Structure formats: C-alpha cells, structure tokens
Amino acid sequence: VIPPDIVAVSDYEAYARERLSDMTWAYLQAGAGDEHTVRRNVEAFSEILLKGRVLGSVAGGHTRLNLFGHLYEHPIFLAPVAYQKLFHPDGERATALGAAVTQTLMVLSTLSTVTLEEVAQAETAPPLWFQLYLQADHGVSLDLIHRAEREGYRALVITVDAAMAGVRNREQRAGFRLPPHLSAVNLPPVSAATPTASGHSRVFEGLMKAAPGWDDIEWVLSEARLPVILKGIMAPEDADHACRMGVHGLIVSNHGGRVLDTLPAAIEALPAIAAAVGGRVPILLDGGIRRGSDVFKALAFGASAVLIGRPYIQALAAAGPLGVAHAIRTLREELEVVMALSGTPTLDRIRAEHLSI
Ligand code: FNR
C-alpha cells in the first residue's frame, strides 16, 4: 500500500532515497556540471502564474487527446529512462504494469533492462513508443526499428541531444558503474571502445566521431513506417529544420538537465519553438514536471502532452507498479483540478490566455 503521507509526486523522493544505494541515487538525480539546468527545469514552472477563471461550466470535461491517430486518456506520458532494474527488480516490466493500469503511454528506452519484446508482450501492456538511440551501425538501428514495428510500438522517439554522454560530476564523484548483472539487453553486446591516439581531441575525434547527423534522421524517415519524433529539441532553428525534413513530432527537452548544463529550462524554450513550428507538428515537453499545474502550463504554451522522468522512477523505487500508477493518478487529478478552476473542460481549450503573463 502507498504510505498515507505520500500525497504529491515529490513525496516519493525521500522514500526512494532510502531504498536506493548512494551510487544509484546519484545516477538518477544527477545532471550535467553544476546541475543549474536540473534545478531550473523545476523552478521555472513556479515563476509562471496561473490566472484562474470562475463560474464557467466544465461539465463533461475530460483529459483525452489524439496523437498520431491514437486516442490517449490523458497527456502525462512516461519518458524513456535507461536501466530500470537499478530501481526495481522487475525494471521496465514493473513500470509498464503501472502505466497499463492508468492507461498511460510509456516510452521504452533503447537502454532498457527488459527487452522491447517482453515489455510489449506482457499480459497487461500499456500503449508504447520506442526511444531510439541511433547506433553507429545502421544495421543495428534498423533491426531495432523493425523489432519495435513488429511488436506494435506506435512511434519512434529519436533522442538527438545526447550525442555524447553527459559529464555528470555527481555521478563521477559517487563512482557510479552499472552493476555487472545489468545490461542494455536490446543491443548486441558492446565491443570495447577503441582508445583515441594521444594528441587528438577526446571529444571531436573520439566521442563525436560516430555521432548521428541530420542525414541519419533522413535515413530513418525513409526506412521507418512509424511516426518519427525527435527528442531533445531546444532551438527554434532545429525545430524548423526538423519540420522541413518531414519529422512527425518534437519533444522539447534538455534531457532533464543531464547532458548540457546552463541550458534554459525546457518550459522556457517552449514558446519560441512553438512559434517556429507554427502548428506543423505536435510538440511534447519534458523536464521538471512535478505538478498538474506544470502540465497545464506546458499545454498553455503549446505542448500537446508532457513526459515525466525522475518522478515515476522515484515512485517505482518506493512502491513498484503501484507507486508508478499512484504517481500518475496524482498528477492527472491535479491537472483536472487546475483545468476545472481555470474554466477549461478539455485540453484543447488550454491557452496562454489562462496564464497571468
Ligand atoms: C533519462 N533520460 C533518458 N532519455 C532518453 O531519451 N533515453 C534514455 O535512456 C534516458 N535515460 C535516462 C535515465 C535517467 C536516470 C534519467 C533521470 C533520465 C531523460 C528523460 O527521458 C527525460 O528527458 C527527463 O528525465 C525529464 O526530466 P525530469 O522529468 O526527470 O525532470
């Protein structure tokens, strides 16, 4: 059962901290550098004020939305998070169960510790999208795409903001290492990285050598039958480029502040990106969503839906599938309260005019 003092998703944090090792906690919470962006993602939401509207009728209200031809019960999705067996013995299977019972879309990471087949074939499976980290070998990427299509995943989310792993000092200080019994089971076993010759840049000659480019996105668009969504867009210029290329959706995200420190908060980047996109494709947002009011604000600025990362992982660590389901239900109910008190019975009615700006 859920402890009675857990009434908001942030209440899971202390419970998760108790259950996880110092190393795993550092991996979960860390951001790049000094973690300015991690904090800003959350704080920026509290700087945006609601307006509140009274006496309007919200009878018959609901939180349903249609995206890429599918109906979803509510706009709070689960962001891709790697290696979930770090947080619960059943890993992504446990998350999927919590998502299924709350009719929540789950985005499965390339770096999952349960295969994409096992997650999709569970008796109680949620709606699923697959997050793809493009692999240096197109053959490996193509195999992942075909497997996801075969298993009924509804979209491909290509994460484009982590061309190299973020330099997360908190994680380094804690000496984080993936335990030997865990691995990215969707991928073929990794071969040892080839060291770069001294005198060459570790960044430009090493880490970035096999990094994907726009031509690789073009290639995915030509190969995939599923809608292709780019995750990690922070610049209006990149958003426009992606739209012109024929990408089907965008996720405004700074990877929860885990890759490049001192980027603005995701919610701060959203208005200019929404303006550049001009309705050509749906936009989603993640980073710092901790309250239903945060969801409302993202939708008011032009997002169709949002994703949460750390909050559901903390709930997973604290209380397994039940925790995941409870965290989602809590956020969803908070969103409904804000909608009701803002006179917006449906998601499409939520506009910037419902904020005090
Ligand atoms: C992530 N994120 C991530 N993103 C992705 O595209 N593929 C991945 O494998 C991972 N892995 C991952 C692990 C951990 C531990 C965290 C915390 C995050 C980023 C994630 O999808 C999302 O962008 C952020 O977590 C959103 O920010 P909040 O909700 O954590 O503030």
Per-residue pLDDT reduced to its tens digit, 252-310: 999 999 999 999 999 999 999 999 999 999 999 999 999 999 999 999 999 999 999 99
Q: What is the DSSP string of 248-287?
A: -EEEE--GGGTSSTTPPPHHHHHHHHHHHHTTSS-EEEES
Report pLDDT for 204: 74
Report pLDDT for 299: 98
Report pLDDT for 199: 66
pLDDT confidence bin for 197, thresholds 50/70/90 = low
Give the amino acid at 37: T
Judge residue 191's burial from the number of C-beta atoms within 10 Å of its C-beta, 0-12 exposed, 13-18 middle, 19 or more buried.
exposed
Residue holding tokens 């110092």?
Answer: 22
pLDDT confidence bin for 193, thresholds 50/70/90 = low
Report pLDDT for 329: 98
pLDDT of residue 357 exceeding 90, the answer is: no
Protein residues with CB under 6 Å of any ligand 1 atom: 27-28, 41, 79-82, 109, 111, 131, 159, 231, 253, 255-256, 258, 286-289, 308-310
pLDDT digits (tens, 9 = 90+) for 1-34: 899 999 999 999 999 999 999 999 999 999 999 9
Site to substitute for ligand 1 among 24, 81, 157, 270, most atoms within 8 A of C-beta? 81
Closest by CA position to 250, among listed 261, 264, 266, 262: 266
Report pLDDT for 201: 76
Least confident of 85-89, 210-214, 274-278: 210-214
Average pLDDT of the chain to the nearest whole number = 96
Residue holding tokens 């550092």?
Answer: 26
User: Has the ipTM of the complex gone over 0.90?
Assistant: yes
Burial state string for 117-129 with b = 16 or more CB within 10 A and e = fewer than 16: ebbbeeeebbbbb
255 is catalytic: yes
In angstroms, what is the span from residue 309 Cα to ligand 1's centroid? 5
Give the distance from CA 308 to its chain's centroid: 6
Phi, psi of 283 (to 5 degrees): -115, 135
Atom of ligand 1 nearest to the CA of 255: 23
In angstroms, what is the span from residue 233 Cα to ligand 1's centroid? 14
Give the number of other CB atoms < 10 A from CB of residue 336: 18
In angstroms, what is the span from residue 256 Cα to ligand 1's centroid? 6
213 within 8 A of 230, measured Cβ to Cβ? no
H or E element in which residue 28 lies = helix 22-29
Residue holding tokens 């200019």?
Answer: 272
Tell me what percent of the residues of the chain surpass a pLDDT of 70. 97
pLDDT confidence bin for 196, thresholds 50/70/90 = low
Q: What is the DSSP letter of 305?
A: E
Non-local (6+) Cβ contacts of 342 within 8 A are: 50, 51, 52, 53, 296, 350, 354
3-state secondary structure of 183: coil
Report pLDDT for 109: 98
**pLDDT, average across residues 91-115:** 98
Report pLDDT for 135: 94
pLDDT confidence bin for 191, thresholds 50/70/90 = low
Judge residue 115's burial from the number of C-beta atoms within 10 Å of its C-beta, 0-12 exposed, 13-18 middle, 19 or more buried.
middle
pLDDT of residue 202 exceeding 80, the answer is: no
Report pLDDT for 174: 97
pLDDT confidence bin for 124, thresholds 50/70/90 = very high
Pull the structure tokens for residue 120: 């999709």
Closest by CA position to 217, among listed 202, 203, 204, 228: 228
Report pLDDT for 209: 72
Give the distance from CA 230 to its chain's centroid: 11
74, 88, 255, 326: the active-site residue: 255
3-state secondary structure of 63: coil
More confident residue, 166 or 302: 302
pLDDT confidence bin for 143, thresholds 50/70/90 = very high
Pull the structure tokens for residue 144: 């992942």
Least confident of 126-130, 187-191, 246-250, 321-325: 187-191
